[in-house]
Amino acid sequence: MTSEINSGSADGIPGWGGFEFGRRVGLKAAGAMAASGALLTLGDVSAAHAASKSDTIKIGYVSPRTGALADFAGPDAFVLKEIRASSYFAKGITIGKKKYKIEITEKDTQSLGNVAVQVTQELINSGVDLILTSSAPETTIPVATTCEQYKVPCLSTVVPWEAYWGGFTGATISPQGAATGTGPTYNSMFFFGVPQFVGCFVPMWQRIQKTTKCNSNVAEMFPNDADGNAFRAAFGPTVGAIYPTGGFSFIDGGAYTDLTTDYSSMIQTFKTGAKGGAACDLFINCPLPPDFQSFWTQASQQKYNPKLATVAKVMLFPTDAYALGNLSNNIATDAWFTPYSPYKSSLTGQSANAFCAAYQRSGRGQWVQSMGSTYSLFEVAIQGLKRVTNPHNRLGLAKALQTVNYDGMCGPINMNLKSSNPLLASPAKGIGMVMPVGVQWKPGSTDLVGHKKYAWSQVVVDNSLNKHVPLNGTLEPTNA
């Protein structure tokens, strides 16, 4: 796998790292741009676009349709079909008394950062008005930083905001977790970050502590890569800041190398490494999926059975659950989109449940979280277009996107929300927070979408961060 992917995770599986990871990927994107001789000069591109009087609004969409990140983009074909059939995209949009058609051009990054830069350049050369991108920092940061370089509006999702913010020159994050420094002019994004992971996981820890009387020792499985080091530095302190009376003790299993095959030493640390030789009853991680599969299998064999496993970066998709089989039972993770929410499309009025049911009826398998965020990219794009008088004015459109405030398929998204609650507020203008819920994988459960039963399904077991999404399952210990 190429170095663009290896900088964040060894086999290209999505990274959820912080500022340093974003900075590294942003620098790699800059290097890829400098190495390319195919792109028009910035002045040429801007002048050509400024002179455009086309009655067509051109939107580019960049995602990893193939390669290691392809699970994220698996629903793309279905989602884009739904988007193109909706009114604005099928019939056009009126802006400033002029009717415009909307054209969408799709590009595949092959899950490679340098290809992400290349296809973004191709879209810019074609005269797009706006670029949308999704699915992990390895995709979104190269696309976003390329757009910023060439002054093209860009909207990203499924990237932790800390990694996204760190991808831009001069953008930093304060020790308190706030965005500082010079952020992007032409970029916006919606998703969440480390505080929301904490706000999603810790309430589940506390509930399991009450029901099982388990201890407050937390096992940390963080690799020696950009993602793992970012979590190692940020997760425990963020827990302490948000839950100062929680009393949690964090036991680091060691900065292991990605794709390690033997986790015996780490498992022993988690079994006896806490004060007084106590085991770690709670578990948090951010590994590569194959590493978690190896670890979790060995942990079971060596009788390390934490009361609750809350995992990040893995167990997002049904393929992850099927790979572990019975060991998937009651593993908890975050979910930023589910069919069980009361949300609906701002384009068609279709409910989240009906949207997912249609996907499953299409024969593409179970719903996945990324289909909601991909859909919402186009909803936010329409909201931005409604706020401008000239859709070909790139700076005007970029500024409009940074102030969008609406309700849609992923719920309420406010790109500039002011709030005294740091979990809800926008860290900076142009960053919208989506509030995740806690889900667990349950075997043989009836998926409420279309009332179909699958071998494994995600069910919502905690809605501490988002009371709009109802519970449809019971939080249970991962191991009794």
The CA-CA-CA angle for residues 401, 407, 412, to 5°, reads 85
pLDDT at 375: 98
Instruction: Reply yes or no on whether the pLDDT at 178 is more than 50.
Output: yes
Instruction: Reply yes or no on whether the pLDDT at 402 is more than 80.
Output: yes
Instruction: Reply yes or no on whether the pLDDT at 413 is more than 70.
Output: yes
At 154, the pLDDT band (50, 70, 90 cuts) reads: very high
Q: Give the tens place of pLDDT for each residue, 420-441.
A: 888 889 999 999 999 999 999 9
Report, as an integer, the average pLDDT of 142-164. 94
pLDDT at 257: 93
- Domains of the chain (ranges; CATH) run 3-192+340-433 (3.40.50.2300), 196-335+438-462 (3.40.50.2300)
In terms of average pLDDT, the best of 131-145, 178-192, 382-396 is: 382-396
Report, as an integer, the average pLDDT of 147-156. 97
3-state secondary structure the chain: CCHHHHCCCCCCCCCCCCHHHHHHHHHHHHHHHHHCCCCCCHHHHHHHHHCCCCCEEEEEEEECCCCCCHHHHCCHHHHHHHHHHCHHHHHCEEECCEEEEEEEEEEECCCCHHHHHHHHHHHHHCCCCEEEEECCHHHHHHHHHHHHHCCCCEEEECCCHHHHHHCCCCEEECCCCCEEECCCCCEEEEECCHHHHHHHHHHHHHHHHHHHCCCCEEEEECCCCHHHHHHHHHHHHHHHHHCCCCCCEEEECCCCCCCCCCCHHHHHHHHHCCHHHCCCCEEEECCCHHHHHHHHHHHHHCCCCCCEEEECCCCCCHHHHHHHHHHHCCCEEEECCCCCCCCECCCCCCEHHHHHHHHHHCCCCCCCCHHHHHHHHHHHHHHHHHCCCCCCCHHHHHHHHCCCEEEECCEEEECCCCCCCCCCCCCCCCEEECCCEEEEEEECCEECCCCEECCEEEEEEECCCCCCCCCCCCCCCCCC
Least confident window among 38-42, 171-175, 186-190, 280-284: 38-42
Instruction: Reply yes or no on whether the pLDDT at 51 is more than 70.
Output: no
8 A C-beta contact, residue 137 and residue 14: yes
pLDDT at 49: 54
pLDDT at 423: 85
First to last CA, the chain: 40
Instruction: Reply yes or no on whether the pLDDT at 59 is more than 60.
Output: yes
